[in-house]
């Protein structure tokens, strides 16, 4: 069984009908808000180590979490801080996972030129002069896999942690059946 490490989860939610980012920026000393540069307010937490972008629309994106629990904790902390400012926060914010990025090591080397040809050029992007990895798009679950000659991989685009496991298992099975993983 290959160990999969979640590196980043990006989730979106909606806290309220609208947010006054100027008031929030003045009230939360840790907030970063420069509307001339970027329309959102950035609020970083050290535990869990996440960053949340808050927008005037009431919507928000949480990034940096390593698990779903950290996403929920972050959103609950921010909801409580907003309530303390008198914001009418929705009772149910509806957290939507947008992207999960995870890494793994297949435990062997890959000849990426062989892999590109064997996996079918319609599903692969490989330009070694531009980037040292190969991009392999899997249709189900719909994710992009970055493969490196060292056997290390990055999976991006999953919306469920189970999808990462399914995609890694599929990739491993495919590479092994084609004799492309050199242990």
> What pLDDT is attached to residue 87?
96
pLDDT digits (tens), the chain, 183 positions: 799 999 999 999 999 999 999 999 999 999 999 999 999 999 999 999 999 999 999 999 999 999 999 999 999 999 999 999 999 999 988 999 999 999 999 999 999 999 999 998 899 999 999 999 999 999 999 999 999 999 999 999 999 999 999 999 999 999 999 999 998
What is the number of other CB atoms lying within 10 angstroms of the CB of residue 10? 17
> Which helix (H) or strand (E) element contains residue 35?
none
The closest alpha carbon to 52, from 64, 67, 43, belongs to: 43
> What pLDDT is attached to residue 183?
86
> What pLDDT is attached to residue 67?
97
> What pLDDT is attached to residue 111?
97
> What pLDDT is attached to residue 160?
95
What does the block give as tokens for 68? 């779903």
> What pLDDT is attached to residue 1?
77
Residues 6+ apart with CB under 8 A from 102: 4, 5, 6, 7, 154, 155, 158, 161, 164
For each of the domains in the chain, give its residue range(s) and CATH number, in order of start.
Answer: 10-97 (3.30.310.10), 106-182 (3.30.310.10)
- pTM, to two decimals: 0.92
């Amino acid at each position: 069984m290959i160990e999969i490490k979640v590196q980043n989860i990006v989730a979106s939610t909606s806290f309220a009908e609208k947010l006054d980012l100027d008031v929030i920026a003045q009230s939360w000393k840790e907030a970063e808000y420069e509307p001339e540069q970027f329309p959102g307010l950035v609020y970083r937490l050290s535990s869990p180590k996440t960053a949340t972008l808050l927008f005037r629309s009431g919507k928000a994106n949480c990034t940096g979490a390593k698990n779903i629990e950290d996403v929920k904790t972050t959103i609950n902390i921010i909801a409580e801080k907003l309530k303390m400012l008198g914001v009418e926060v929705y009772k149910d914010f509806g957290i939507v996972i947008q992207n999960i990025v995870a890494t793994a090591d297949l435990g062997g080397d890959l000849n990426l030129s062989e892999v590109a040809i064997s996996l079918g050029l319609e599903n692969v992007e490989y330009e070694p002069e531009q980037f040292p990895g190969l991009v392999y798009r899997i249709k189900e679950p719909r994710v992009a896999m970055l493969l490196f000659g060292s056997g290390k991989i990055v999976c991006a685009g999953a919306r469920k942690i189970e999808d990462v496991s399914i995609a890694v298992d599929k990739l491993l099975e495919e590479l092994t059946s084609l004799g492309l993983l050199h242990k």
